[in-house]
Structure 1
């Protein structure tokens, strides 16, 4: 039985991911977040372990990583935090990580949407490029998800993927679709997602900006 560590387990994507992993797999889940015990409601105590912690606390990360088969990181905003996570994974010997970031970290968003997106994320894109570089330079079997603009829709779990070097495919994608993709990656043992940076969007959403803006 696999054990999955979800870093940022109180995040919006993580909440959908937890539900789907409990439904579709027999995996045990370690749910790591600041004030996790107050923010996360456990529905299956036999499979869910809640851990209060901070990404910059190496001792807490070591404890959380013990016995883990794979990691999902809900956010790559903080450079020092990402460096700590990669370092502690190396130290413990955990190889597989799926990490969510924003579209645009590879300058892959073109046209009018690219111009709109660059303006919207201008204040944070350079920092996120640096965190993406930390992952790429590591020896981990990472899968980086460059996510289109996010919304919630339980009935919409369609997604499509683009590879590094390809133009980004669309403007938006549901958090439920992203959770579905993460489950698929975690269940895959072939290695086809290893050391990949994937653009993630809903098919047929080639708009000048997301439909909800």
Structure 2
């Protein structure tokens, strides 16, 4: 049975890793991809793939999002909503509700619950600043949306190999940095099994970086 997956912000570095694995690993042969981004010429290398549809649009425009979401089974949003009014999260939720699409994975940042301890937690809060408030609201909108959601609270990212620990909303964040490949791996596990981490907000990081006071690249 075909599984239809929409990737919003499809030219992002994590999104590209997800796309590469979905199109190359045999366990995902049943996945058809819709890739949503502002400039579709950035994905010219995929335009002739029979399993890929590339759509140009803006996450800030509800009609664009509705058009992309129609007939999908799962939506991955590869950009954090730092908009002042959380228009982006609201557009995704409304588009999914109107199209009766239930499963969403939405990227966010570490620190929205003040769950990052110590010196690094203080530094992280200072770096993200007011962006933490909009990020927290994005998570809260998803929680009350009625959708099957997963919020991914991303660490400071690097290009290392897959190595991560998952923490949940009521747990202290473990680690300060993690790899883009690790984030992609979690998304792929959810695509493979949509019940994995359903109705959850999870931190993902390399536990070996727990003692660091600045990001590890």
Same-fold call, TM cutoff 0.5 = yes
Q: 1:176 aligns with which of 181, 184, 188?
A: 181
Whole-angstrom CA distance in 2 between matches of 1:88 and 1:54: 13
- The yes-or-no answer on 1:205 pairing with 2:209 is yes
User: Which residue is equivalent to 2:64?
Assistant: 60
Structure 1 outlier segments of 4+, above 3 Å: 41-44
- Provide the C-alpha distance between the structure 2 equivalents of 1:120 and 1:105, rounded to a whole number of angstroms: 13
Matches within 5 A, 1:13-24: 13-24=14-25
TM-score by length of 1: 0.93
Secondary structure at 1:41's aligned position in 2?
Answer: helix
Deviations along 1:85-134, one digit per CA (max 9) or x if unpaired, are 10110010000001111101111111111111111111311111111111
TM-score by length of 2: 0.92
Asked if the contact 1:76/1:82 (under 8 Å) is kept, the reply is no
Q: Distance in 2 between matches of 1:179 and 1:117?
A: 22
Matching residue within 64, 89, 102 for 1:95: 102
| Counterpart-to-counterpart distance in 1, 2:133 and 2:114 | 11
**Paired residues, what number?**
208
Instruction: Give 1:148 deviation, angstroms.
Output: 0.7
Deviations 1:30-82 (A, max 9, x none): 000111x2212333520111100011222222221122110000113231011
In the alignment, structure 1 residue 42 sits paired with structure 2 residue 45: yes
* Equivalent residue number for residue 136 of structure 1: 143
Distance 1:130 1:23 in 2: 36
Q: Is the 8 A contact 2:189 2:196 kept in 1?
A: no
Tell me the residue number matched to 1:163. 168
The 5-angstrom pairing of residues 67-78 of structure 1 reads 67-77=71-81, 78=83
C-alpha RMSD of the superposition: 1.3
* Partner SS for 1:157: coil
Q: What are structure 1's unaligned runs of at least 5 residues?
A: none
Aligned partners of 2:158 and 2:216 also within 8 Å:
no
1:9 aligns with 2:10: yes
Alignment gaps of 5+ in structure 2: none
